[in-house]
């Protein structure tokens, strides 16, 4: 059995953390779907890489009217629609449980709840595919928007989560939204919990301390953080907090692991796949990490639910060393929002440059 299908047997969906328009036309996405990929995610950085890093869009940019923002949105919607159509068979076969493509609201709206709601509703209507998920950052304003958009019947991918408190707020916003929705049985949602960047920040703090104890704790925080988030998922969505929504036909909001390529070359290149396998989860995996997992990944269906007490102890050890994990995860979200805004500016600049050359 193909490795990606082994993950499906373990209850985990694999979504490709990449999109580019030639993937549909050259059959690459179809081949990945046949192998077990059941979704696609995008973000401003991915679109910057696709548009600015190739000549695939040059002719479309040259032929388009309007400013760089409107041109980008037209290109992005075309790509997302094509990917959604390619995944429609998965969506139908799973009765809407899987087969989604994500498109992010403008990163300039991260602190604007009303603006985020309006932008998400606009994109939802424009793409006009039932297997779209609109990505909304899990800022304070975003959490307000997540509840309102869920209540309005929009599928939401809540993104840029790093802390357990942030995860909890997002999950409960989804619960409240499903309780208010007129069609909760049609909703699907994921909570995108970011992984590798947590190790990057906490490892740097441990290196700064430099003791043997501190150095022995490196490379463990990201997986421990995800395991504790998954335990909270179980408490909410397998417990009484979801009773009303469940009785109305709503699906749980799945935990999704994001930023799963390993940044530290001394760690396994499949660390954030092997260690994060569990039922009713999603892992968004970039192409290079999918290749690595095919080659030497190990499927352990109990990975997420094992050694949870050790995960708790890990954070107690970090606290004893004076490491403020909450401050670090808050900083990571701020940096994540800024990074996507920067990528958005970069892709707009690339489009403007191409327009000037045309």
pLDDT at 42: 94
**Distance in angstroms (rounded) separating the CA atoms of residues 38 and 45:** 21
Percentage of the chain modeled with pLDDT above 70:
100
Q: Note the pLDDT tens digit of each residue in 112-155.
A: 999 999 999 999 999 999 999 999 999 999 999 999 999 999 99
Average pLDDT estimate for 307-312 = 97
pLDDT at 52: 87
For the 3-198+221-307+337-357 domain, the top CATH level (class) is: alpha beta
Is-contact 101 39, C-beta < 8 A?
yes
**Distance in angstroms (rounded) separating the CA atoms of residues 306 and 137:** 29
Q: Note the pLDDT tens digit of each residue in 323-353.
A: 999 999 999 999 999 999 999 999 999 899 8
Residues 6+ positions from 85 with CB-CB distance below 8 Å:
129
**Residue whose token pair is 């906490």:** 202
pLDDT at 356: 84
Instruction: Based on the residue annotation, tell me whether 135 is a catalytic residue of this protein.
Output: yes
Q: Note the pLDDT tens digit of each residue in 2-52.
A: 899 999 999 999 999 999 999 999 999 999 999 999 999 999 999 999 998
**Distance in angstroms (rounded) separating the CA atoms of residues 169 and 172:** 5
pLDDT at 354: 86
Backbone dihedral angles phi then psi of residue 103, each to the nearest 5 degrees: -135, 130
- For the chain, the average pLDDT equals 96
Catalytic residue, from 3, 135, 201, 227: name it: 135
Beta pairing partners, 133: 102
Give the pTM: 0.96
Q: How confident is the model at residue 244 (pLDDT cuts 50, 70, 90)?
A: very high
pLDDT at 189: 98
Average pLDDT estimate for 199-206 = 98
Q: Note the pLDDT tens digit of each residue in 70-109.
A: 999 999 999 999 999 999 999 999 999 999 999 999 999 9
User: 259: phi > 0 → left, psi -120 to 50 → alpha, else beta; which?
Assistant: left
Beta-strand pair 189-194/156-161: parallel
pLDDT at 350: 87
| Lookup: tokens for 62 | 């040259």
Average pLDDT estimate for 256-261 = 97
């Amino acid at each position: 059995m193909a490795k990606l299908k082994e993950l499906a047997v373990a209850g985990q969906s694999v979504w490709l953390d990449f999109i580019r328009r030639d993937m549909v036309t050259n059959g690459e996405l179809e081949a990945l779907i046949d192998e077990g990929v059941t979704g696609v995610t995008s973000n401003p950085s991915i679109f910057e890489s696709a548009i600015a890093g190739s000549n695939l869009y040059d002719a479309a940019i040259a032929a388009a009217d309007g400013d760089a923002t409107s041109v980008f949105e037209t290109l992005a919607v075309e790509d997302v629609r094509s990917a959604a159509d390619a995944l429609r068979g998965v969506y139908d076969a799973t009765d809407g449980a899987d087969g989604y493509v994500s498109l992010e609201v403008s990163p300039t709206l991260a602190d604007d709840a009303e603006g985020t709601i309006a932008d998400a509703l606009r994109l939802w209507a424009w793409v006009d595919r039932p297997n779209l998920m609109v990505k909304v950052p899990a800022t304070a304003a975003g959490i307000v928007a997540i509840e309102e958009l869920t209540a309005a019947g929009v599928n939401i991918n809540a993104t840029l989560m790093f802390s357990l408190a942030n995860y909890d707020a997002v999950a409960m916003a989804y619960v409240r939204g499903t309780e208010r929705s007129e069609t909760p049985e049609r909703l699907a949602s994921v909570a995108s919990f970011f992984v590798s960047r947590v190790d990057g920040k906490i490892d740097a703090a441990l290196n700064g301390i430099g003791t043997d104890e501190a150095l022995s704790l490196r490379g463990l925080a990201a997986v421990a953080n995800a395991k504790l988030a998954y335990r909270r998922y179980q408490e909410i969505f397998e417990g009484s907090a979801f009773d009303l929504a469940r009785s109305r036909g709503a699906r749980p909001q799945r935990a999704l692991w994001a930023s799963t390529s390993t940044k530290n070359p001394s760690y396994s290149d499949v660390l954030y796949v092997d260690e994060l396998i569990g039922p009713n989860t999603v892992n968004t995996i970039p192409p290079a990490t999918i290749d690595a997992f095919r080659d030497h990944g190990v499927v352990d269906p109990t990975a997420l639910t094992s050694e949870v007490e050790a995960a708790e102890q890990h954070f107690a050890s970090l606290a004893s060393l004076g490491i403020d994990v909450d401050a670090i995860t808050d900083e990571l979200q701020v940096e994540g929002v800024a990074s996507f805004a920067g990528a958005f500016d970069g892709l707009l600049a690339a489009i403007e440059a191409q327009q000037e050359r045309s």
